[in-house]
Amino acid sequence: MAAPFKIIVCGEGGQGAKSIAELIAAAAWTDGRHATCLPQFGVEKRGGLTSALTQVSDSPIPYPVFTTADLAVILSQRAVERVRAHVSPRTTVVVNSHLVKDVASLGAGPVFAIDGRAVAAEQLHDSRVFNIVMLGAMLRFLPQLSAGMYVTALDQRFDKHLAAHPDLRDTYRRALELGQELVAPYVAPAAPLPATDPARSRTVENARAVITRWPGRCKSCGLCLARCPVKCIAWDPQELGQTGEPAIKIDPAKCLGCTMCEQICPDFAVKVERK
């Protein structure tokens, strides 16, 4: 089993660090690989740093937390300190050069400075998609997925927004391409991951929400059971998760559609779409 590829993304709240990390994991899962994503927030209500730990692998990932990242993406100067504990000389670093001026003290491996904001503003006339440009730059370093998986992940994550603003779809796709073009002259494409069996899903619904779960992704950690406000999640001895322990099941008769289980799950094992 190859070791999971480990990524930390860190930036100011609102820069889209969590979205980048989640899109990588979602693309990997969509492509039939294994992935985890663990967001970490500060105690501040506003103006805090946001970071997320993501792993992708061809095999089940035992634990969502890790120490040393293969790739660190730093979106602001303040984020340098937050990622320090996850960086070693073997860590490749991608920085948002618009805000990050000095990472020498990290002692990291190769550093790539990308001004995603300038590219987004000047070539796409929308600086809000700077994080998608940064994601595009990251793709050169990540284990390769099947073509189009990141576009699919973008479509799924922003489906409601894209339904209201269909022109954004082309902007997102072009942002991904521009990011890749920025680093392509310097970095050979990463090796692909071998494919694994696509995860099976189970969907139930009630008047409030459509609830989909992927038993093969569930690591039986119990986080969602503890968080569910109406305790409608239970273990399902008929359906084993990726550790061989029972995965979860959800009682649609009681589910409020609050999405807390989706938000807390580090393994993308449940999705709740409110009606």
Which alpha helices (DSSP H) does the chain contain, by range?
17-30, 79-83, 116-123, 130-139, 149-157, 159-164, 167-183, 223-227, 260-264
Looking at residues 33 to 52 of the shown chain, list those that interact with ligand SF4 (rule: CB under 6 A): none
The CA distance from 135 to 19, in Å, is 10
**Least Å distance between CB 23 and ligand SF4?**
18
Given its phi and psi angles, is residue 247 left (phi above 0), alpha (psi -120 to 50 degrees) or beta? beta
**Least Å distance between CB 205 and ligand SF4?**
11
Q: Are 196 and 242 in contact (CB under 8 A)?
A: no
**Least Å distance between CB 70 and ligand SF4?**
23
Looking at residues 205 to 224 of the shown chain, list those that interact with ligand SF4 (rule: CB under 6 A): 218-224
Smaller CB separation from ligand SF4, 79 or 224: 224
> 48, 20, 230: which is closest to 134 by C-alpha?
20
Residue in 7, 9, 37, 248 binding ligand SF4, rule: CB under 6 A? 248
**Least Å distance between CB 156 and ligand SF4?**
18
Place of tokens 């189009």: 148
In terms of C-beta density within 10 A (0-12 exposed, 13-18 middle, 19 or more buried), how is residue 264 classed?
middle
Of the candidate spans 41-49, 77-85, 171-179, 228-236, the one that interacts with ligand SF4 by CB under 6 A turns out to be: 228-236
**Least Å distance between CB 113 and ligand SF4?**
36
Contacts with ligand SF4 by CB under 6 A lie at: 218-224, 227-230, 232-233, 248, 250, 255-261, 264-265, 267, 269-270, 272
